[in-house]
Amino acid sequence: MGRSQSLPRGGDPRFGPDGDDSGSPILHVDMDAFYASVEVRRRPELRGRPVVVGGVGPRGVVSAASYEARRYGVRSAMPIMRARSLCPHAVYLPPDFAQYTAASRAVMQILRDVTPLVEPLSLDEAFLDVAGARRLFGSPAEIARGIRARVAEEQGLTCSVGVAPSKFVAKLGSTRAKPDGLLVVPADRVLDFLRPLPVDALWGVGERSAETLRRLGLATIGDLAEAPRGMLRKALGEAAAAHLHELAWGRDPRRVSPEQVEKSIGAEVTFDADVADPLEIRRALLALAEKVGARLRRAGQVGRTVSIKVRMADFRTVSRSRTLDVATDTAREMFDTAWALYTVLDPGERIRLVGVRMEGLAPAGETPQQLTLGAPERGWREAEAVADAAAARFGRSVIGPASLLGRRDPGRNENPPRP
């Protein structure tokens, strides 16, 4: 999920759901409080109550908050302990990514029923180019209304849609339309729409950049658009100055790109308390390897480079990687490599976070698999595929992170189980 911005809403009829959309073929569809909304959908008794999804341990962070929780100041990426102090009566739930992924697939299929030009940005948002869909489905605003209606009727969820000439403006439009709204930015009103917005509404402007711009007297996008280019270059550098200047004038030539190839797949865990026990770290690396392997197989991908991330108690972070001879998607091979990397690293101090990532991805069907003389015909990959099927039916917690590698010491080189 992208960085949320607090943008002004309402007022100007040129920027409502009924504006002139003839020059605005780009849609940005953004689900409303997606993770929290999926939880409320399957627990209707939570409707109307503040719901927070995130890590439930003392070091967890908020992944999503319902709008009822946001009224108390709870926001995504906030430490969970801070959220609990702001809204102690909220319902706090751990994330269920299998449920969110399933809901996302259903929503993305609704979008692809309109046009093949769909560019997902994450599980809960996507761009569409509907220029070629007008004959079948009507104007961009009519298409947006149809999408919102189908998502609500078929999925029991709400989404907000921005309709604009470009991706950048469409995304700002959906943000301004939230929650459960539609906003059209006419092509000849883009600058009127942008100029009053705060500078941190621009892509690429974080807290530090925004503070730098405000010190220069540039509080709004309109201020930045009129600022001398030399001043921007001196404050931000050539590349950032050019990028922000173009956006401030509403210029964003990027096209909707439906082919988004994932470059890596990873997972990490922050321990509730700093850990020094090597066995506990091994178990964490094993569980992470299992999670990454399952995601790789669902995506039909294999990878060659295994990397680990280790964050110490003092927040120093180190990474190590190793490239395999042959690509894989098995947790067993990832874990063996990750544990070997960790053993060589030998940090010798308490650990706050560990992560496992597979890089150098390629389609599984187009990549040769490791062949070992005398190896059984069916082995670790088949066993893990069986575990995937069981997890899909009964839940990953029923399988358990150690089941894929057996009950013995995961560092031992035992033969693969028979599926």
Confirm or deny that 30 is annotated as ligand binding.
yes
Amino acid identity, position 246: E
Amino acid identity, position 190: V
Q: How far is Cα 262 from Cα 299, in angstroms, rounded to an integer? A: 9
Q: Quote the crossing angle between the two packed helices 331-345 and 380-394, to the nearest 10°.
A: 100
Q: How many residues does the chain have?
A: 419
Q: How far is Cα 412 from Cα 398, in angstroms, rounded to an integer? A: 24
Q: How far is Cα 334 from Cα 293, in angstroms, rounded to an integer? A: 8
The catalytically annotated residue of 39, 68, 119, 125 is 125
Structure-token pair, residue 410:
């995961």
CA dihedral of 254, 258, 263, 268, whole degrees rounded to 10:
100
**What are the helix (H) ranges across 16-137?**
34-42, 67-70, 80-86, 97-112, 134-137
Number of neighbouring beta carbons within 10 Å of residue 324: 18
Contact 180, 32 (CB under 8 A): yes
Q: How far is Cα 149 from Cα 171, in angstroms, rounded to an integer? A: 20
Contact 123, 34 (CB under 8 A): yes
Structure-token pair, residue 403:
């089941």
Instruction: Annotate 222-250 with DSSP letters as a single string.
Output: HHHHHS-HHHHHHHH-HHHHHHHHHHHTT
Confirm or deny that 129 is annotated as ligand binding.
no
Q: Quick one: CA dihedral 103, 307, 93, 65, positive or negative?
A: negative
Phi and psi, residue 67, nearest 5°: -65, -30
Active-site annotation holds for 125: yes
Instruction: Annotate 363-387 with DSSP letters as a single string.
Output: EGGGSPPP--TT--SS-HHHHHHHH
3-state secondary structure 197-219: CEHHHCCCCCHHHHHHHHHCCCC
* Binding-site residues from annotation for Mg(2+): 30, 124
Write out the catalytic residue numbers. Answer: 125
